[in-house]
Structure 1
Amino acid sequence: MISIFDISLQLNGFPIKKAKAELDGIVNFSEDDYLVFLQNKKEEIVTFHIQNNTFYQELTGNKKIEKWEDLPILNKQNLQKPLEERLSNGYSKKNIYLNKTSGSSGTPFVFAKDKYSHALTWASNIMRFGWFGIDFNNSYQARFYGIPMDFIGYQKERFKDFLSRRFRFPVFNLSDEVLEKFLYKFKTKKFDYINGYTSSIVLFAKYLENKNIILKEICPTLKGCFVTSEMLFESDKKLLEKQFDLPVINEYGASELDLIAFENPQGEWQVNAETLFVEILDENNNAVPNGTEGKIVITSLFNKANPFIRYEIGDIGILDEKSTPQKPILKKLIGRTNDVAILPSGKKSPGLTFYYVTKSIIEDDGNVKEFIIKQTKLDTFEIEYVSEKELDTNQIKKIEQAITLYLEPNLNFGFTRKDVLERTNRGKLKQFKSLL
């Protein structure tokens, strides 16, 4: 079989062969060699940007950098300036990989990677999917993603899909009629794996549950389902495993960086320690012990075009106690730092708390397909939901009781039934939104 995927990367100037060889070397380091590699890479990337990047020079100022902890924390606001002002010497739009973040954190920006660092991103993807018998050159992907709606953008994406052996299921409209067409494709095409946004894949699984269909039985070539970009709840994972009869693999990544963590065949969320250095820090930017939650701060060890050094991604997480520098394990991803509800009592609660509370009650009978929660005032929340029939007073009362129990009493809730929920322009569903 011809390696069309690898060849298309090479032709676009991404040296995939060299990247695969380097990645292979990193993965096979002994523990001691790995520590030396990490130390060298951290020093190398910082030195490079201090010498070649005016944006990073300004950020570090004239202060003496004696140790890693002296380096500033970079955030998304810092990066919201024209790309030309952030590129390193020797890089221009001609010799970089250029893209923009989805803005699911509310702060989109354009970023660049040098071509070798982007090739390493692909090498890392290829390796991790390979753990589950997926080969990008040969395996056929069912892709649940958004797609640009303008003509040129649309055609370009479809062509990329063709080169990458993907068939795309656009996620902007997930009505039963559309899901029925999706199902037909699974009956007629030999897909090897599913990849895409968690919320839309979960909706498809609910549709199959209603129809009493197991996906693997109608598409026996399937080997796995890889979900990304949105939280995967335990109950949803069980539903996917049941309706698809496939291993469900959870990935966590950021377009500006790389795959950050990827569930390995042992079921651990293994952090990418080959191309990234991941820290968990407290409010004062001090490292917290493993097992403690904190903000996730990431350094891209290879990207010379654009500095991502101690970059605060906007998520909160916990590293497992059994993590080692060479094999860090993400114990839990708690969600976005900006998705926090402030309550009248002054209590702060992650938006996901509401989601868990309402989810457990709403899901009993499978009537409600999806919902989002918006905080409109300190004590007022709007729940928008898509369902076959309206929530009854009994269900609403149960939700209000649970919220009083988990959060605090005297909060006001409005419930609005909708035909569809608004998604981001990429097709992601933002589960909780504070309008305060």
Structure 2
Amino acid sequence: MRLFDFSLKVNGFKIDKAKTALAKIQAKNDADFKTYIEQKKQEIILYHLKHNSFYKALGKSITINDWNSVPVITKRHLQQPIEQRLSNGFTTKNVYLNKTSGSSGDPFIFAKDKWCHAMTWAEIMSRFAWYGIDFNSSRQARFYGIPLDKKGYYKERVKDWFSNRYRFSVFDLSDTAFKETLDRFKSDKFDFINGYTSPIVQFAKYLKRKDVILTSICPSLKVCIVTSEMLFEDDKTLMETQFGVPVVNEYGASELDLIAFENTNDEWQVNNETLYVEILDKKGNVLPYGEEGRIVITSLYNKAHPLIRYDVGDVGVLSEKSTLRKPILKKLIGRTNDVAVLPSGKKAAGLTFYYITKSVIENDGNVSEFVIEQLALDHFIIRFVSKEELSNEQKMVITTEMERYLEPGINVDFERVEILKRSKSGKLKQFISKL
């Protein structure tokens, strides 16, 4: 029985029709595909200008044949009651409703009409199929958060059952918890791992300490797919070594769709079938392939709620090898609000600090994970989980490296903790600015 498809259908999502529609899009030749994209862009604008009062007010200056006249929507625009943002004919009762994680600092409730959500799932299923994963039959080892209240907890467990997956909590990353995880892999025939990057990295480190290759005890495992947090190259190498399967990087946004997915040629292939992705500069101009800027995305199918030229809050680069038919995400730099401001006025991506620190303190395996917070222009604190306290020499090396890469006069404090605080969803934010 195709339980996953069945669960979607029961909730009003026409997944069979969506799969057929997506297959037709994917079969188009280059010329027809270009026509399809232009038609969908114009269709979605015209629809919302006619049927959505929120968008009508926002898009007063739009010239239909001039895409550059279409305003960029930010999360701040969307922080008003969902009822005020829905198109005519849609209510909170006949749409798919959810809430963003708030990792950008601007959480909001969003809506998708049911056809749009069906197309989202068709796209996800299509990409996972590159690695032999079928949501109806493939068993998933899921590393995500889970609500701790009784109602929310059991709701997620029921969803997990219908989705043929077993969920491991990301809130306990102790060796005791990982031993139970390993025991589950011994007794369950998992086909793939899916979840947040940081807890899966910690599991790989545990396997390394125990000298275990996961496929030796779970030979059914085909692939590991990580999402929602930065994936560093050395962590990817570690996971592939300890799991014995390819590690695939996924980039998505719950309010949109799957945005990019690593293909079998190690390219981060952008979803250009249900989305239209652009890279813009600070003034809103479209940047050529190869240049770094804001990631701005249009949902081509969401009629319930306009997400047109929507700034997702991330900075990235599309590869020079990109085409309209096959855009490639060359680099995802991080969130636009993850920026450190230094005493001189210089700005640096928050992940710069993370890269520097990571290269110094993770080499010997003592520190399992850490986060960095900026408390003042010249004051940073590194909170870390470790078997042993860092030596004064190690702390001095990190401070010196930060000054060398950035600028002198930076004060760095260190705090060893038992566990790092994660968001309610289970994500770990590597850099936080408190300025």
Do these two structures clear the TM 0.5 threshold for a shared fold by scoring above it? yes
Structure 1 CA distance, aligned partners of 2:61 and 2:144? 44
Alignment match, 1:356: 355
1:264 matched to 2:279: no
User: Cα distance, 1:379 vs. partner?
Assistant: 0.3
Amino acid at match of 1:193: F
1:417 matched to 2:416: yes
Structure 1 CA distance, aligned partners of 2:154 and 2:296? 36
1:171 matched to 2:156: no
Kept after mapping to 1: 8 A contact 2:73/2:310:
yes
Structure 2 CA distance, aligned partners of 1:124 and 1:435? 37
1:35 matched to 2:42: no
Residues 244-255 of structure 1 correspond to what in structure 2 (within 5 A)?
Answer: 244-255=243-254
Amino acid at match of 1:382: I
Alignment match, 2:46: 47
Structure 2 CA distance, aligned partners of 1:245 and 1:291? 33
Residues 312-331 of structure 1 correspond to what in structure 2 (within 5 A)?
Answer: 312-331=311-330
Unaligned regions of 5+ residues in structure 2, if any? none
Q: Which moved more, 1:22-31 or 1:400-409?
A: 400-409
Alignment match, 1:303: 302
Residues 272-311 of structure 1 correspond to what in structure 2 (within 5 A)?
Answer: 272-311=271-310
Alignment match, 1:118: 117
Deviations 1:183-214 (CA, angstroms, capped at 9, x unpaired): 11011100000000000100110111111111
Q: Secondary structure at the match of 2:78?
A: coil
Q: Secondary structure at the match of 2:189?
A: coil
Unaligned regions of 5+ residues in structure 1, if any? none
Alignment match, 1:106: 105
Kept after mapping to 1: 8 A contact 2:226/2:250:
yes
Alignment match, 2:215: 216
Structure 1 CA distance, aligned partners of 2:62 and 2:255? 27
Alignment match, 1:72: 71
Amino acid at match of 2:204: A
Amino acid at match of 1:386: V
Residues 86-97 of structure 1 correspond to what in structure 2 (within 5 A)?
Answer: 86-97=85-96
Amino acid at match of 2:133: I
Kept after mapping to 1: 8 A contact 2:224/2:246:
yes
Q: Secondary structure at the match of 1:249?
A: strand
Deviations 1:38-67 (CA, angstroms, capped at 9, x unpaired): 000000000000000000011112554540
Alignment match, 1:428: 427
Alignment match, 1:195: 194
Q: Secondary structure at the match of 1:297?
A: strand
Kept after mapping to 1: 8 A contact 2:137/2:164:
yes
Residues 343-422 of structure 1 correspond to what in structure 2 (within 5 A)?
Answer: 343-422=342-421
Amino acid at match of 1:259: L
Amino acid at match of 2:308: I
- Relative to the length of structure 2, the TM-score reads 0.99
Flag the 1:106–1:369 CA change in 2: closer, same or farther, 3 A: same
Deviations 1:56-94 (CA, angstroms, capped at 9, x unpaired): 011112554540100110000000100000000010122
Q: Secondary structure at the match of 2:17?
A: helix
Q: Secondary structure at the match of 2:400?
A: helix
Structure 2 CA distance, aligned partners of 1:389 and 1:399? 17
User: Cα distance, 1:398 vs. partner?
Assistant: 1.1
1:340 matched to 2:343: no
User: Cα distance, 1:34 vs. partner?
Assistant: 0.3
User: Cα distance, 1:173 vs. partner?
Assistant: 1.5
Alignment match, 1:144: 143
Amino acid at match of 2:284: N
Structure 1 CA distance, aligned partners of 2:138 and 2:239? 21
Amino acid at match of 2:103: S
Structure 2 CA distance, aligned partners of 1:250 and 1:62? 38
Runs of 4 or more above 4 Å deviation: 62-66
- Relative to the length of structure 1, the TM-score reads 0.99
User: Cα distance, 1:431 vs. partner?
Assistant: 0.3
User: Cα distance, 1:7 vs. partner?
Assistant: 1.3
Structure 1 CA distance, aligned partners of 2:146 and 2:60? 41
Q: Secondary structure at the match of 2:77?
A: coil
Structure 2 CA distance, aligned partners of 1:179 and 1:402? 33
Structure 1 CA distance, aligned partners of 2:319 and 2:389? 42
Kept after mapping to 1: 8 A contact 2:63/2:70:
no
Kept after mapping to 1: 8 A contact 2:42/2:64:
no
Deviations 1:290-329 (CA, angstroms, capped at 9, x unpaired): 0110000000000000000000000000000010011100
Structure 2 CA distance, aligned partners of 1:386 and 1:355? 15
Structure 2 CA distance, aligned partners of 1:206 and 1:409? 34
